[in-house]
Amino acid sequence: MNLEQLAATARQMVADNKGLLAADESTGTIGKRFEGIGVANEEDNRRDYRELLFRTSGLGKFISGAILYDETLRQSAADGTTFSALLEGEGILPGIKVDTGAKPLAGSPDETVTEGLDGLAARVEEYAGLGARFAKWRAVIRIGDGQPTPYAIGVNAHALARYARICQEGGLVPIVEPEVLMDGGHDIERCDEVTTETLKRVYDALYDQGVALEGTILKPNMVLPGTDCPTQAGIDDVAARSVQCLLRSVPAAVPGIMFLSGGQSEEEATAHLNAMNAAFPGLSWKLSFSYGRALQAGALKAWKGDAANAGAAQRALLERARQNSAACAGTSSEQAA
Ligand code: 13P
């Protein structure tokens, strides 16, 4: 493991108020996004859409890296430039989702464990050869009646740590993503409790398995009430609880925490991040973004599968990236809707 190189890449991912574009939707998930705008889920459409995103002029000013899906890392732009070369040319590091999805957990089938460890070392080697510099693995924790069980948290933490160690051995910075879902009627206290417990178990597992935290990135959920909770929380409350939860759980050696958006609107995701950085300057880790839906929703809506709309879609993406970069400095002036 070359820790110096891994740590330098991890620091680069959160430098200069930049964040990540999560464009690693699996073929099924991008199909759902395309369905919303009436676009067929065909390889050419997926390629055209990703090329549009990656060719956004000036994106590298706000975005340090893009997370790709296996198919995308192997694709090229219309002029034959590989997507990884295209991104590198814009100063954006290519990354790769390496998990193979959350599957029913044996013994507790309403919960999931994320799979993809078999053969992972060989895939990491191949992905590094294709230009990837970092990787992502998403564990899913659902809050419900009697859930999550300590068992589900434990196996997901163990798998995240196995993945992280394998990536570091293969030269990729692992993004460690334990997502506590927003779905449900639970209140913000319950989300706080479950997120704290999950993060503590994840950092125990990372320690047990010898993962060098300086060469990792954390991608957590924010601390939010469930989407069906009758009592929703204000921006400043979400910001304060999220930072306090992280302070209790995440070692200072971690260079960056890059939130997922998890179903928040574009404006909410920006406002929450902005409030954290405005109210808590000087934290040991950088607080940034690794948004999928909260960077792409407007771009998808503008594009609608029509090449004539590419410019409008790129402007929408660039504006979200710019606002989120400002939020990394706590200087976004945008108001949440
Ligand atoms: P969202 O920001 O849409 O939650 O996606 C980020 C991601 O990469 C989830 O794994």
Reply yes or no on whether the pLDDT at 273 is more than 70. Answer: yes
What is the reported pLDDT for 195? Answer: 98
Measuring CA to CA, how many Å separate 54 from each of 5, 308, 325? 25, 17, 17
The Cα–Cα gap between 160 and 176 comes to 7
Closest to 22 measured CA to CA, from 136, 99, 118: 136
**Which distant-in-sequence residues (6+ apart) come within 8 Å of 244 by Cβ?**
none
pLDDT, average across residues 200-204: 98
Ligand 1: nearest atom to the Cα of 259 = 2
81: its two tokens: 């430039």
The single residue listed with the structure tokens 């690794």 is 290
pLDDT, average across residues 258-274: 98
- On average, the pLDDT of the chain sits at 97
Ligand 1: nearest atom to the Cα of 260 = 2
CA of 291 to the centre of ligand 1 (A): 5
Residues with catalytic function: 177, 219
What is the reported pLDDT for 323? Answer: 98
The correct CATH number of 3-328 out of 3.40.50.1980, 3.20.20.70, 3.50.50.60, 3.40.50.720 is 3.20.20.70
Count of CB atoms situated within 10 Å of the CB of 111: 22
What is the reported pLDDT for 335? Answer: 73
Closest to 61 measured CA to CA, from 11, 104, 21, 18: 18
What is the reported pLDDT for 337? Answer: 58
Reply yes or no on whether the pLDDT at 336 is more than 90. Answer: no
What is the reported pLDDT for 150? Answer: 98
CA of 253 to the centre of ligand 1 (A): 24
CA of 18 to the centre of ligand 1 (A): 16
Share of the chain above pLDDT 70, in %: 100
Measuring CA to CA, how many Å separate 256 from each of 81, 156, 213, 314? 31, 21, 10, 27
CA of 229 to the centre of ligand 1 (A): 21
The Cα–Cα gap between 248 and 16 comes to 26
pLDDT in tens, 49-81: 999 999 999 999 999 999 999 999 999 999 999
Q: What does the longest C-alpha to C-alpha distance in the chain come to?
A: 53
> Model-level pTM greater than 0.85?
yes
pLDDT in tens, 22-42: 999 999 999 999 999 999 999
pLDDT in tens, 161-181: 999 999 999 999 999 999 999
Ligand 1: nearest atom to the Cα of 177 = 10
The Cα–Cα gap between 258 and 112 comes to 23
The contacts found for 230-234 with CB under 8 angstroms, 24 or more apart, are: 230/185, 231/187, 231/188, 233/188
**Ligand 1 neighbours (beta carbon < 6 A):** 22, 24, 138, 177, 260-262, 291-294
Question: What residue's CA is closest to ligand 1, atom 8?
Answer: 22
